[in-house]
Amino acid sequence: MMQKVRLGFAWLTVALFLGFSGSWLADPIAPATAGVLFVWLFATMAWSAFGALKVADKLAEILGEPLGSLVLTLTIIGLEGVLIAIAILTSEAGATIGRDTLLGANMIMINLAGGLALFLGGLRHSEQTYNFQGTSAYLAVVIVLCVIGFVLPNYTTATPHGSVTNTQAAGIVVVTLFIYGTFLLMQIGRHKHFFVEPNAGGNTKTEPPTAPTTAPAMPAGPAEKKGGIGQLTLLLLAGVVPVLLLGKFLTTILDHASTKLGTPPALGGVIIALIVVSPKLISAIKAGLADEPQRAANLALGSCAPAMGVILPIILLIGLATGKTIVMGVVPAEVILLALTLVMSLLTFSGPRTTLLEGAAHLAIFVVYIVLMFSP
């Protein structure tokens, strides 16, 4: 029932904006009107994205591993990638919107989601144990690609400052896809045990098995399974498409807020990132509270690895295909915060156990990131 209400509201919103956006978004837009339209669009897109990812999760359970993980990853990456593409092609901040969205997604998932999971999990369970091999694999990808994507462009001779030449962009695309492809083969292949809860010490309590009170359900037959996959695929598309169709209207309002109200241009990228990653953010926090630290790490760090491995090439390829200038180099204050995030992540996940202190440190970094966005 809730799924039908969610889809109905999302598609009604799409119909209304397609029909009336010409008058609603015509200059000058009153601040109150812009605020109402923003809240409406943001809530609708986030709700629809959350529903789509829940459907993708069900689809992943039916498909099993490793195909299930790929479905979830591609759903999230597809959403974020297309929204960034729309923003680059339509936003007045098109040169930097890809960088701001990608950096925002990393900051939200590592410092906000990861920080809250660590802090609340440590507050409730004192100490928590991670699978070091899994977290180190994530960080190997994230650290290398963050430096290549966000820091290196500031130290090349490309103009404008922080951009990359076509040759550099092509090289970064190839290297990035190679690194992420190698990681993906490890994650869903021979080393997938790196990404499960560690056995030693265990974080969760186990109860002795009890005799079932009812007969076990018979597994679904091939036809039944195929029908379930088809239905879920249609529901997934029905939930994703409204988010993509509404992306252009949200970009228009964010541009209006930046030019007329003086909000930071980078805020638009953070809001786009938040729409896509909010379901994983909530899931990571729940996992920390449930004493499932490896799942929390998989959600936090596991969102950043594919984001850098797939969306970074998408952003650069859009620039190559359209001839638009793409600025990926972050400003000096963000370089410091990014470096602090990566160093803190190494310290957090290099020890045998974590406490709420590491969570507090990550949350502090995120708060400073937001403060400097409004007061650079």
Given a cut of 50, whether residue 74 has pLDDT beyond it is yes
Res 206 pLDDT > 60: no
More confident residue, 177 or 210: 177
d(CA 130, CA 128): 7
C-alpha to C-alpha distance for 232 and 229, rounded to whole angstroms: 5
Instruction: Convert 256-276 to b/e letters by CB count within 10 Å (16 or more is b).
Output: bbbeeeebbbbbbbbbbbbbb
Share of the chain above pLDDT 90, in %: 36
Amino acid 265: pLDDT: 83
**Mean pLDDT confidence for 87-94:** 83
Check whether 305 has a pLDDT greater than 70.
yes
129 bridge partner residues: 353
- Residue 131's φ and ψ, nearest 5 degrees, are -85, 100
Residue 271 has pLDDT above 50, yes or no: yes
- Predicted local confidence at residue 162, as pLDDT: 93
Into which CATH architecture does domain 2-199+226-374 fall?
A: Up-down Bundle (1.20)
Q: What is the mean pLDDT of the segment spanning 282-301?
A: 83
Residue 201: predicted pLDDT: 44
pLDDT at 262 over 60: yes
304: which 2 tokens? 């950043």
What band does 165 get if pLDDT is binned at 50, 70 and 90? Answer: very high
Least confident among 98-107, 196-205, 291-300, 361-370: 196-205
Q: What is the mean pLDDT of residues 13-18?
A: 94
pLDDT of res. 232: 83
Percent of the chain surpassing pLDDT 70: 86
**Domain coordinates of the chain in residue numbers?**
2-199+226-374
